């Protein structure tokens, strides 16, 4: 692992929720943190201020990660400014609820364009630098029961995209392992990250074997492990972060 003060992380969707929590934790650990956002400018600026308060470098830049050229420009910007990207976290992943038979063509494409395709774009862009340095960590976010390929009538396209992320993660792990790079997935269940209504989370508590909804701290713990040297032999894995729900 690069020395403290030299480590650089890029986080998509890093302005809020799980991405923000990971960015703040890495800053505490001495990482410089770059995050991108599409609409959350105010939150992104607040996050970067909190990152910099830890005595490390912080950068927030707007980027539509569904645009491969914009992703390439983002990676070039971070590498040009800080010389490297050691860890990539693909946290961006919007969704909408609509019955499959009422889904529009535009809505269908939107789920793939904003969930699956950006993971390919970002990984393809950061891989050359990681290979050159012989070290790298990539963490992609899926969802807890994506590996079961069960029916999902109301979030069908989003779910299929998350299944695709698992296949992409394993494929990249196999291709990049010879270069000292690990590629793993974290698959959250119900996490209190600000994206779901509190009443929905409260209602789900009874269905979670652990008896409670997870927090962003749980995601941070998994992320910290996966970027550590302790996880150097963990590659192509999928960590379920759900308290036993959906497994």
Predicted confidence pLDDT, tens digits, the chain (247 residues): 777 778 999 999 999 999 999 999 999 999 999 999 998 889 999 999 999 999 999 999 999 999 999 999 999 999 999 999 999 999 998 889 999 999 999 999 999 999 999 999 999 999 999 999 999 999 999 999 999 999 999 999 999 999 999 999 999 999 999 999 999 999 999 998 877 777 888 888 989 999 999 999 999 999 999 999 999 999 999 999 999 998 8
pLDDT of residue 232: 97
247 in a structural domain: no
Give the C-alpha separation, 134 to 138, whole Å: 13
pLDDT of residue 204: 85
Burial 10-21 (b: 16+ CB within 10 A, else e): bbbbbbbbbbbb
Name the packing angle between helices 105-115 and 117-133 (round to 10°): 20
75 in a structural domain: yes
2 in a structural domain: no
Range of the domain at 188: 8-241
Rg (CA), the chain: 17
Give the C-alpha separation, 43 to 60, whole Å: 10
158 in a structural domain: yes
79 in a structural domain: yes
207 in a structural domain: yes
- The pTM of this model reads 0.95
93 in a structural domain: yes
In this structure, the number of other CB atoms found within 10 A of the CB of residue 57 comes to 17
| Number of alpha carbons in the 13 Å side-chain half-sphere of residue 223 | 29
CATH code, domain carrying 221:
3.40.50.720
Q: Is residue 34 within 8 Å of 61, Cβ to Cβ?
A: yes
Number of domains composing the chain: 1
246 in a structural domain: no
């Amino acid at each position: 692992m690069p020395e403290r003060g030299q480590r650089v992380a890029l986080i998509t969707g890093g302005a809020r929720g799980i991405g923000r929590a990971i960015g703040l934790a890495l800053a505490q650990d001495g990482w410089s943190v770059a995050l991108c956002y599409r609409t959350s400018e105010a939150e992104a600026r607040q996050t970067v201020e909190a990152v910099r308060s830890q005595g490390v470098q912080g950068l927030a830049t707007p980027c539509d990660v569904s645009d491969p050229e914009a992703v390439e420009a983002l990676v070039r910007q971070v590498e040009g400014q800080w010389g490297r990207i050691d860890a990539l976290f693909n946290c961006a992943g919007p969704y909408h609820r609509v019955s499959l038979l009422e889904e529009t063509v535009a809505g269908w494409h939107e789920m793939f364009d904003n969930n699956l395709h950006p993971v390919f774009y970002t990984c393809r862009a950061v891989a050359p630098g990681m290979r050159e340095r012989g070290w790298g960590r990539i963490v992609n976010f899926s969802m807890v029961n994506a590996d079961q390929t069960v029916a999902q009538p109301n979030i069908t396209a989003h779910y299929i995209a998350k299944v695709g992320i698992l296949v992409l993660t394993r494929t990249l792990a196999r291709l990049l392992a010879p270069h000292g790079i690990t590629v793993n997935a974290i698959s959250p269940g119900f996490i209190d990250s600000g994206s779901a209504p509190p009443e929905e989370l409260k209602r789900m508590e009874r269905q979670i074997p652990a008896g409670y909804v997870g927090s962003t701290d749980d995601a941070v713990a998994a992320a910290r492990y996966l970027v550590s040297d302790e996880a150097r032999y963990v590659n192509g894995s999928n960590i379920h972060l759900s308290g036993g729900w959906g497994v």
